[in-house]
Amino acid sequence: MEIYATGLNLLDSKIKTGEFKLILPYKMPLILGHDLAGIVKEVGNNVKKYNVGDEVYARPTDFHIGTFAEYITVREEDLAFKPKNLSMEEAASVPLVALTAWQALVEIGQLKKDKRYLFRQVREE
């Protein structure tokens, strides 16, 4: 896929400085980048959902990052169609941030489907 926009995350700088070495033991040098928006340029034989020319966004799985490049191969299950009301830049800013919010709300906060929740802003003084 051709990358039109990518996101820059704190995670990228932490990987570069080695702060995540125990969790994500990447071997340097490598191309960083965890978010992208772009256009599908080729599809594999087993790809069913996407076609050449589709506008997509993604957060490639760990150990398959590299969205600071011009092109990247991304697994079909890591892609989503880019919402038409978002620019490439806006779409590229979403994936890792959305994943982090999901982890906080669903995995840590244990929010459940079909339930209602009231959130309160907490201000630190």
Residue 74 pLDDT > 80, yes or no?
yes
- Nearest one of 105, 107, 106, 81 to 94, comparing CA atoms: 81
Residue 125 pLDDT > 80, yes or no?
no
Token pair of 52, please?
């050449």
Residue 6 pLDDT > 90, yes or no?
yes
Measured between its terminal Cα atoms, the distance across the chain in Å is 47
Residue 104, classed as helix, strand or coil, is: helix
Q: Is the pTM of this model over 0.85?
A: no
Q: What is the mean pLDDT of residues 50-76?
A: 95
Q: Count the Cβ atoms, other than its own, within 10 Å of residue 93.
A: 20
